[in-house]
C-alpha cells in the first residue's frame, strides 16, 4: 500500500458537484492499494498515520499526532499511485490491485483508522472526484508498506 499524507487545515471531495466528504484540521490521505497487499499493510498504515507526529506543538516543533490534536482524516482512493512511468509516456497500472480487492482493503483501512479514534471522511471509490486540499506547511509525506 502507498499513502500520500498531506497535513491540511481543510479538505473536501466532490463527486458530480456534490460534496461527499469534508474535514477541518487534519490530514488528507491519498491511498493506493497494490497487488498482493493485505490486512497487515492496512493496519500498519492506519496506526502510522494516526500517530505520525506532523503537527506543531507550542514551540513550533512537529511533535503532535493526529490523535493529539483530535484531527480528522479525509481518505481518498488513488490507484494512480501505482502508475509506473518508467517506460513510454503512458503510465502502466499493472501493480495496482483489482478494483474489488482495492475497495475491500481501502474500506478496511478507513475502519482501522476510525478504530484509533480519528474521525474519517471518504471520497467515493472508483468515482471521478475533485479534491480540494488546503495543505498546511506544506507538509506532504509518502508512506509505503
pLDDT digits (tens, 9 = 90+) for 53-73: 999 999 999 999 999 999 999
Q: Identify whether the C-beta of residue 45 lies closer than 8 Å to the C-beta of residue 1.
A: yes
Question: Helix, strand or coil for residue 10?
Answer: strand
pLDDT-above-90 percentage for the chain: 99
The question of whether 103 is a catalytic residue gets the answer no
For residue 5 the three cell numbers come to: 499524507
Q: Is 109 a catalytic residue?
A: no
Separation of CA 51 from chain center: 14
Catalytic one of 6, 78, 109, 122: 78
pLDDT tens, position by position, 64-111: 999 999 999 999 999 999 999 999 999 999 999 999 999 999 999 999
Whether 140 is catalytic is: no
Catalytic annotation, pick one of 41, 79, 109, 122: 79
Domains of the chain listed by start with CATH number: 2-137 (3.50.80.10)
pTM: 0.95
Amino acid at each position: 500500500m502507498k499513502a500520500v499524507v498531506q497535513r491540511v487545515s481543510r479538505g473536501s471531495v466532490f463527486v458530480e458537484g456534490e460534496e461527499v466528504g469534508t474535514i477541518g484540521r487534519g490530514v488528507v490521505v491519498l491511498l493506493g492499494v497494490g497487488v498482493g497487499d493485505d490486512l497487515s499493510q492496512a493496519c500498519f498504515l492506519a496506526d502510522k498515520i494516526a500517530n505520525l507526529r506532523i503537527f506543531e506543538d507550542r514551540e513550533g516543533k512537529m511533535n503532535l499526532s493526529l490523535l493529539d490534536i483530535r484531527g480528522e482524516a479525509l481518505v481518498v482512493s488513488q490507484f494512480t499511485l501505482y502508475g509506473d512511468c518508467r517506460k513510454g509516456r503512458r503510465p502502466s497500472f499493472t501493480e495496482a490491485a483489482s478494483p474489488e480487492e482495492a475497495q475491500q482493503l481501502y474500506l478496511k483501512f478507513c475502519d482501522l483508522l476510525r478504530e484509533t479514534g480519528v474521525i474519517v471522511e471518504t471520497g467515493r471509490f472508483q468515482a471521478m472526484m475533485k479534491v480540494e486540499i488546503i495543505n498546511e506547511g506544506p507538509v506532504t509525506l509518502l508512506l509505503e508498506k
